[in-house]
């Protein structure tokens, strides 16, 4: 090839390892061109150089297509060619950048291993959508924590009372705590002065007269275990119960008008409860059966539970029952009816708590950062669940051993507590 024209040398660099050699008997124009350009001859005219460059790129395209069909790894992309004054005898490979490429949006957080190159950077497959900005990976949303299970209130009427009663009885072995709440027509006997000035005897006297004169409207019941778990039926929801009673007739029975207006605002339909509610004569025997089967075996929980417990005793003993004349007698009757279960009044627990937790159920729960999981205030099922959660929070944060719980057990507001 003496005297043959030479072309301007081409400085070539790769972003990665060079591709494997072509199959046998395949003409590699780019390799031939590199061999020619490596000879120490004068540079070729620009027109011939451009023609050879075009031939080399076309040959490289055919070679890459052949390699893809043979399931070979894709060839590295060549960097733009630049004219140079001299061509080295062999091609040296070096990384284009010491910084690793930005991750692809589909690869962010992936556990797939990367293949190391010969330098300190790590090579990844480029994204068809282009590189991801460095800040995008930090802005990708983190997985949200598992949401708590949904809670539903199972409303009980005359038509489904038997089925719900049997369901509750089947759940008692696994849920040894019971929180209760009652809704009734207010109070028609009230003190002349401030309630905090009353003696325990006078407090109980007002309770006795009101419970004897009025009827129960709703009873909320929450069954829970020692860890606060609620019963479910194989789905994602957890359940509490709300019983509606038919004895109260707003047109005939005494009541506090403001209490009736509040219950109506919370969704109580007094005509519906009167027509379709559960009869106290059917509920009382079932309640006694539940107690014998283990209802509240580990504890019965209330909030300001004097009235709650009094209405439970009245329903258990049936129509015509009159409350005992003294608080001491009532306490003995209630313990006998509940088979000497431990009673926990959350209001009394809050009174003994080191912080100021005065107020009603909603106020105490807010001060303890306990949220209402379902329903509204003064709905019996919802209030029984909030009573349960407030009791658990107090037990966890202060009454954290049996000795402290034993000291507060049995004290009921308006009955035995001052």
User: Distance of alpha carbon 324 from its chain centroid, rounded?
Assistant: 47
Decide which of 77, 93, 109 is a domain's last residue. Answer: 93
Query: Do residue 167 and residue 49 come from a single domain?
Result: no
- Compute the Cα dihedral for 401, 407, 408, 409 and give only its sign: positive
> Is it the case that residue 44 has pLDDT exceeding 60?
no
Query: Do residue 71 and residue 167 come from a single domain?
Result: no
Query: Do residue 218 and residue 333 come from a single domain?
Result: yes
Token pair of 265 as six digits: 């605002």
Mean per-residue pLDDT, 150-173: 96
What percentage of the chain exceeds 70 in pLDDT? 64
> Beta strand pairing status for 122-123 and 115-116?
antiparallel
Residue 416 belongs to some domain of the structure: no
Higher-pLDDT residue of 26 and 351 is 351
Higher-pLDDT residue of 301 and 89 is 301
> Is it the case that residue 173 has pLDDT exceeding 80?
yes
Distance CA 63, CA 19 (A): 10
pTM of the model: 0.65
DSSP code, position 215: -
Residue 140 belongs to some domain of the structure: no
Higher-pLDDT residue of 23 and 262 is 262
Query: Do residue 83 and residue 157 come from a single domain?
Result: no
Query: Do residue 200 and residue 301 come from a single domain?
Result: yes
Residue 62 belongs to some domain of the structure: yes
Q: Render 57-126 in DSSP notation, one character per residue.
A: HHHHHHHHHHHHHTTPPPPPPBPPPEE-S---SSPPP--S-SSPPPPPTTTTT--PPPEE-SSSSEE-PP
Query: Do residue 242 and residue 363 come from a single domain?
Result: yes
| Max Cα-Cα span within the chain | 132
Query: Do residue 163 and residue 14 come from a single domain?
Result: no
Decide which of 54, 71, 93 is a domain's last residue. Answer: 93
Query: Do residue 313 and residue 186 come from a single domain?
Result: yes
Residue 168 belongs to some domain of the structure: yes
The pLDDT confidence band at residue 412, using thresholds 50, 70 and 90, is: confident
What percentage of the chain exceeds 90 in pLDDT? 54
Residue 108 belongs to some domain of the structure: no
Collapse the DSSP code of 397 into the 3-class scheme (helix H, G, I; strand E, B; otherwise coil) and give the result.
helix
Higher-pLDDT residue of 252 and 41 is 252
Note the pLDDT of residue 230.
96
> Is it the case that residue 400 has pLDDT exceeding 80?
yes
pLDDT tens, residue by residue, 290-314: 999 999 999 999 999 999 999 999 9
Tell me which range, 17-31, 80-94, 222-236, is most confidently predicted by mean pLDDT: 222-236
Here the CATH number for the domain that contains residue 230 is 3.30.420.10
The pLDDT confidence band at residue 413, using thresholds 50, 70 and 90, is: confident
Beta-sheet strand order (sheet of 343-345): 151-156, 238-244, 218-224, 177-183, 299-302, 343-345
Query: Do residue 192 and residue 71 come from a single domain?
Result: no
Decide which of 44, 73, 93 is a domain's last residue. Answer: 93
Nearest partner of 30 among 5, 61, 6, 74, judged by Cα = 61
Radius of gyration of the chain (CA): 41
Residue 134 belongs to some domain of the structure: no
Distance CA 364, CA 386 (A): 10
Residue 375 belongs to some domain of the structure: yes
Note the pLDDT of residue 120.
38
Note the pLDDT of residue 35.
44
pLDDT tens, residue by residue, 107-145: 333 333 333 334 333 334 443 444 444 444 344 444 445
Note the pLDDT of residue 117.
37
Residue 316 belongs to some domain of the structure: yes
Token pair of 11 as six digits: 């400085």
Containing structural domain, residue 79: 1-93
Note the pLDDT of residue 406.
86
> How many structural domains compose the chain?
2
Query: Do residue 21 and residue 164 come from a single domain?
Result: no
Query: Do residue 337 and residue 220 come from a single domain?
Result: yes
Query: Do residue 37 and residue 157 come from a single domain?
Result: no
């Amino acid at each position: 090839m003496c005297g043959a024209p030479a072309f301007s040398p081409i400085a070539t660099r790769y972003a990665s390892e060079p591709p494997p050699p072509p199959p046998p008997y395949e003409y590699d124009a780019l390799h031939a061109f590199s061999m020619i350009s490596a000879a120490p001859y004068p540079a070729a005219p620009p027109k011939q150089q451009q023609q050879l460059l075009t031939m080399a790129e076309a040959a490289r395209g055919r070679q890459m297509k052949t390699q893809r069909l043979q399931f070979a790894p894709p060839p590295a992309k060549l960097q733009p060619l630049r004219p140079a004054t001299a061509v080295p005898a062999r091609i040296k490979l070096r990384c284009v950048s010491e910084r690793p490429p930005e991750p692809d949006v589909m690869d962010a957080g992936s556990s797939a291993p990367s293949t190391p190159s010969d330098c300190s950077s790590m090579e990844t497959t480029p994204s068809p959508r282009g590189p991801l900005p460095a800040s995008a990976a930090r802005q990708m949303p983190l997985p949200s924590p598992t949401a708590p299970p949904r809670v539903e209130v199972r409303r009980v009427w005359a038509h489904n009372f038997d089925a719900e009663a049997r369901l509750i009885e089947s759940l008692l072995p696994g849920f040894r705590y019971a929180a209760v709440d009652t809704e009734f027509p207010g109070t028609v006997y009230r003190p002349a002065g401030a309630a905090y000035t009353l003696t325990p005897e006078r407090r109980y006297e007002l309770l006795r007269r009101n419970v004897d004169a009025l009827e129960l409207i709703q009873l909320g019941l929450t069954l829970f275990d020692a860890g606060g778990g609620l019963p479910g039926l194989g789905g994602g929801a957890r359940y509490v119960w709300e019983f509606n009673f038919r004895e109260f007739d707003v047109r005939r029975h005494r009541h506090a008008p403001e209490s009736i207006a509040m219950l109506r605002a919370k969704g109580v339909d007094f005509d519906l409860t009167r027509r379709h509610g559960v009869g106290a004569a059917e509920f009382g025997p079932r309640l006694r059966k539940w107690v014998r089967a283990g209802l509240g075996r580990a504890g019965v929980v209330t909030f300001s539970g004097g009235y709650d417990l009094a209405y439970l005793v009245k329903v258990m003993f049936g129509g015509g029952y009159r409350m005992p004349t003294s608080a001491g007698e009532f306490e003995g009757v209630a313990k006998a009816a509940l088979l000497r279960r431990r009673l926990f009044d959350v209001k009394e627990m809050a009174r003994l708590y080191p912080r100021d937790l005065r107020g009603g159920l909603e106020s105490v729960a807010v001060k303890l950062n306990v949220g209402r999981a379902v329903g509204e205030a003064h709905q019996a099922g919802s209030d029984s669940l909030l009573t349960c959660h407030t009791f658990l929070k107090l037990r966890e944060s202060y009454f954290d051993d049996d000795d402290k719980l034993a000291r507060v057990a049995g004290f009921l507001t308006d009955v035995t507590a001052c």
